[in-house]
Structure formats: structure tokens, C-alpha cells
Chain A
Amino acid sequence: MFGESAEIRARIDEAVEGWVGAPGPNLVLGGAEAFAHPELPALVTYAVQVGVERLALETGGGPLSTGENAAGALHVGVRHIIVRYVPCDEPMSETPALADPSKLALAGIRAFRRAAEARGVKVAVSAVIGVCRHTGPLLPAAIAELVDAGVGAVRLLGGEGASAGSAQLAHVAAACDTGVVNGVWVGVSGIELPASHAAHVEKRDGR
């Protein structure tokens, strides 16, 4: 969600006017960090006003546990949070608050769930994890953590044209299975899975 508000509003208009069929129109306000945009509430309100039925925000998750962000997002009309989740097994920063972004993300997911429950609002929460040699071994545990926090689905994204070795495929398959046994769907894009797990393969747009 980069760009000036006017430009974003125009893109929202374009998305709504060009929407074909039901259900919808549905919109994702994506980008690096939705909560970093200074006019996020106004943009969400605008999207709702022009007829968006389902509105999702992409976030690192951490901002949801800050102040009234979770309740505020719900108030203006956000009903789906897509958390970009980075599993880590060692500190990523010397600053304690930033050492483990995954913990911040999980706290944010929980805050959003709590706020939705308090308002009696039905929401969807999903996570996206980039798969690489660093995150691969952490995937099954990451899925379990996300399940515990309250996500309904996780997407594992491989890099464009990247090939995965057998160990990496085993991690991804284990992550898929961890999701299913815990009642959470794990979709996989950009990674060629073995036939045993082909049902988890999704297109880049999630279909």
C-alpha cells in the first residue's frame, strides 16, 4: 500500500468498478505494512463507502497489539488480517522489543481475535510465510504457533522459480500436515510438492 492517498483511492475505485461476479467486491490493502500508512483509517473507510464487502489488511502483525489498532481496524471495517510471518529461532535484533518479530506477530493476532470476539464480529486471520533455507526447518513449529494464536489458514510462498531440495520439501509437507491435524489449511505456492501433498498447491492468488 505505497503511494499517495488519492492514488490509492483511485485504485480502490478501479478494483470495485472492475469487480465481476459474487461474492464481492473483496479487497486486500497490501504492501509492506498497512499500519505504517498515515491515512489507513480514512482509506479503509473509503473502501467501505464505495462498496467493498470484505476488506483485508496485510501487516507484520505486531502493530495489532499496539494501542487500539486491533479495535480500530475492526471499527472502520477490516475483517481479514493477513500476517506476514517470519519464524525465527535466534534473535533478529539486539533491541529486545525487536528481537523476535514472530512473538510480536502472534501477540497482534491474539489482540485482533480478542477484539473481534468482544465485538461479536466474524473475522478471518491468515498468515503468509516465505519459504527459504532459513525458515524451512522452522515451518512445522511456526504453523503450530500460528494455530495456537488463532489463524485460520497459512500460505507458504516459495521464491519464483526456486527449487526445493528433499529436506525442504519434507519440512513443507510436515507443515501442511501440522496444519491439517490442527484444523488449519496450509496452502503452498511456488513450490512443487510431491503427489502426496499436491492438494495443498495453490496458485499465487490463493485459488
Chain B
Amino acid sequence: MTGPLKTVLIGLNSPGYQSLALGYLRAYAQSDDRLKGRVAFQTFDLTVEVDPWWIAYRVLPLEPDVVGISVTCWNARAVFDLCRIIRAASPATRIVLGGPEVGPVAEATLEAHPEIDMIVRGEGEITFAEVLYALTRGRDASRVGGVSTRRPDGFVVSAPDRALIADLDSIPSPYLSGVMSPVEGGAYLETYRGCPHRCGYCFEGKGYGRVRSFSRERVEAEIETLAGSHGVSSFSFIDPVFNLTSERLEWLSAALAPYAAKGLRLHTVEVDIERVDDAAAELLSLAGVGSVETGPQSVGAAALSECRRTFHPERFSAGVAALKRAGISVECDLIIGLPGDSVLDFFDGIRFCLELDPGKVQTSTLHVLPGTDLWSRASELGLVFDKEPPHEIIATSTIGYVELRRAEVRATWIQQQYESRL
């Protein structure tokens, strides 16, 4: 090669969000001595609302050798549009995708989208760096563990899976390494990966396996640097369960409390509400938590069983009450279209939540996501869903299409009424 491998990373986020995933990818690759001076990075952290043609207009003049894009069910259609434009305009550019929308169905995605060259499956940091290393050396990247790619003869092939990263601290902090900067006083924090739960509709627990944590020293350094030196006034924790264990909650609360006392606030965090008592609610309050998001997702016994979830109404109610006593608003989430649920079950769930007067009741429609248990068992469970992203449920064995749409609309009105309070 005559110059560095020009690598453009693109994130198409929901409005108001940044891509921590791209930050990790870049921070890890930039810390790889083998890539120093051999790879040049440019990151476009955009929103999904930006027209793919305009993104291409910005990206193509850079004459990228590699374009890497993180794909979720929400941005997939825009990403595929963008890839087609880049492929047509710059056939030599290698287009590499990763993320939960494509990783679990990598071969099928490559078959369906000839504009894509390669998909990084699972955790991307090491695999993407290895791909870049192979490309800088002119080697065949199809042999990199965790990669699916299309061979020159057109066949799609997958190298073996890559093991999960055992030591998360080996991934440099995007903020501490300077790859990412806080935006408008806000920053993202991740203290662990994986999830203790195995909810059938969620990718988190199944895709990222057992819980692996960043070290406390690493997390404390991020908090101290961001809140102390960079003037960050709000953190968004992306941990699937903020109160993972009591001990961990105590530690996090102690780490955040000095800054919360000076005004630091946490965006809505997700909690296991059935483990929240007055002491836990107090710790959350001290940490700067003003609102939490939680289930129950469903109160129907059949749906809870099919989705491998537990729900104890008394414990749930006690958790909401404890949080309200601590001045913390609760958002109760319910999903319509879960296997086994009837429309009546769904509205029973709404009624249950409203009677707790939690602050917010959020209903959403099931999306059958690649890599989840419901995706693999869809036929067995009678789930009919859109094969195209975002994979919305079309009908279940217990709720037809029309009933689903009616329930969505009625639930929206109930939410509007509930939220129209003083």
C-alpha cells in the first residue's frame, strides 16, 4: 500500500444519540500497534434521519478504502440504501457491517445484499481490528475469526466465531482515549456487557452471553474524568440492568454521588424493579437517577413463560412504591404481540401499571430481532413478522393483524390520557 488504509466509520443513530459502538471500534483499533500509521480513521456520527445520498456525498470524496457501519433494526434500511450508493459509486471500497441486525444473520444478509463485502459477527472490536490488519497486509480477511464474507467466486463463507472478550479493560475507553467527546454535556457509560436475563425477545442476554464487567477503576476513571474535568452534567448508562447486584449498586452510587450532589444527572436507567427496596431506591437517588425504566412487558402467564421472564405483582408494586417514595419516576414498559398473550392480557398489563401510577406507561409493538430466541422459535410459536427490518410483528397465534393494530392505537390513546396530568 502506498498510504494509510482510509477507514470511514458511520453511525446512523436515533436523534440525540451517539454511537458508543463506533467509539469502541476506533479506540481499540487505534491502540493496536500493528495499525499505527497504517490506518487513518474518520467517524461520521449521524442520525438515521439523514438522507443516505447526502451521507454518500460526504463520504465518497474521502475515497475510503474501508467503510464500517454499525447496523440495528432501526437503521438497517437506511444503511442498506447507503451501501448500494457507495458500492455503485466506489466499487473498490470495502463495505464492512456489524451490529445486532446483521451479525446473527450474516450469511443471509450477504446473500441478500451483494453491495456488502463483509460482516463482523458478535463483539466487533478485535475482529474489526484484525480485518484492518489483514487489509493493510494485503491478506485474505475472510479467514479472520468472527467474519463472514463473500469470496471472489461469489460464495459466502464464514470463519469460525470469535470468543467474547474476556478482559473488557483491554478495550480503551473512547472518552479517555480522546476518540469520543461529550456532546452538549452528555456522555455514555457502559460498566458491563451481557445480561443476567434471557428474555426471548431481547438480543442482549443471548448475543453477549454471560455478564462481563469493566473494572471498577476503569469506570471510576471515566466518571471522574468526564464529570470532574470535562464538565459532563448527564450520563446515559447503557447497562441492561443498572442494579445488577446490591453490591454493585452501592459502589456505583458511591462513585456517582459526589457529582450528583453538584448537579450531575443520569438519563433513565433500566432496573430490575422487583429487587428495588427503600435502600436501593435511596442509592439510585444518591447516584442522580431521576427516572428508571422497567417491565413488566407482560402480565400474561403464557407470554411470560414463552419469553422466559418472571413477574411477581407484589414485588413489582413494592419496587414502584419504593422508587416513588424516593422521588424517582418509573416508566413501565409493555410489549404487545408477545407469544401467548391475548389482547386482554395486554390491556390487563396496562391496567396493572396504571394502578401503580408509576409516572409513565410505555407500550411498544414486538419486533422479532435476529439472534433472539423468538427469532429462532418464530414458527413454533406461531409468530408472523416482517422479514425486513425492523421486523415488526404482523400476527401471533393469539392476536390477528387487525387486533394488533387496534390495540396499538387504543394503547397510544390511553398513554396520552395518562400523560395529560398536571
Residues of A near any B CB (own CB < 8 A): 21-23, 48, 52-55, 77, 79-80, 122-124, 126, 152-153, 179-180, 183-185, 199-200
Contacts and interface: CB of A to CB of B under 8 A. Distances in A.
Contacts of B356: 22
Contact of A22 (B354, B412, B413): B354
Contact of B354 (A23, A52, A153, A185): A23
Contacts of B418: 23
B145 to A, nearest CB: 46
Interface residues of B, number: 19
Nearest to A202: B410
Contact of A122 (B355, B406, B419): B419
B409 interface: yes
Contact of B355 (A22, A123, A183): A22
Contact of B412 (A54, A77, A123, A152): A152
B421 A53 contact: yes
B323 to A, nearest CB: 14
Nearest to A199: B406
Contact of A180 (B355, B409, B417): B409
Contacts of B343: 199
B403 interface: yes
B420 interface: yes
Contacts of A48: 422
B354 A122 contact: no
Given A23-B418, A48-B422, A184 B405 contact: no
B58 to A, nearest CB: 33
6 contacts: A21-B355, A22-B354, A54-B420, A124-B413, A124-B419, A152-B417
A123 B420 contact: yes
Contacts of B406: 180, 199-200
B215 interface: no
Interface in B121-174: none
A123 B409 CA distance: 17
B416 interface: yes
A179 to B, nearest CB: 7
A199 B412 CA distance: 15
B413 A184 contact: yes
A77 B418 CA distance: 15
Task: Give the interface centre of B412, B418, B420 by most chain A CB atoms within 10 Å.
Answer: B420
B357 interface: yes
A55 B416 contact: no
B305 to A, nearest CB: 26
A22 B356 CA distance: 7
A153 B413 contact: yes
Contacts of A23: 354-355, 357, 418, 421
Contacts of A179: 409
Interface string B56-93: 00000000000000000000000000000000000000
A80 to B, nearest CB: 5
Contact of A185 (B355, B409, B421): B409
Contacts of B420: 54, 79-80, 122-124
B49 to A, nearest CB: 20
Q: Which 3 A-B pairs have the closest CB atoms?
A: A22-B357, A124-B420, A79-B420
A153 B301 CA distance: 30
A16 to B, nearest CB: 13
Given A22-B354, A185-B410, A199-B403, A124 B422 contact: no
B416 A53 contact: no
Interface in B366-422: 403, 405-406, 409-410, 412-413, 416-422
B421 A152 contact: no
Contacts of B419: 122, 124
B320 to A, nearest CB: 10
Given A124-B413, A152-B412, A153-B413, 20 more contacts: A21-B355, A22-B354, A23-B354, A23-B421, A54-B417, A79-B420, A79-B421, A79-B422, A80-B420, A122-B416, A122-B419, A124-B419, A180-B405, A180-B409, A183-B409, A184-B409, A185-B409, A185-B413, A199-B406, A200-B406
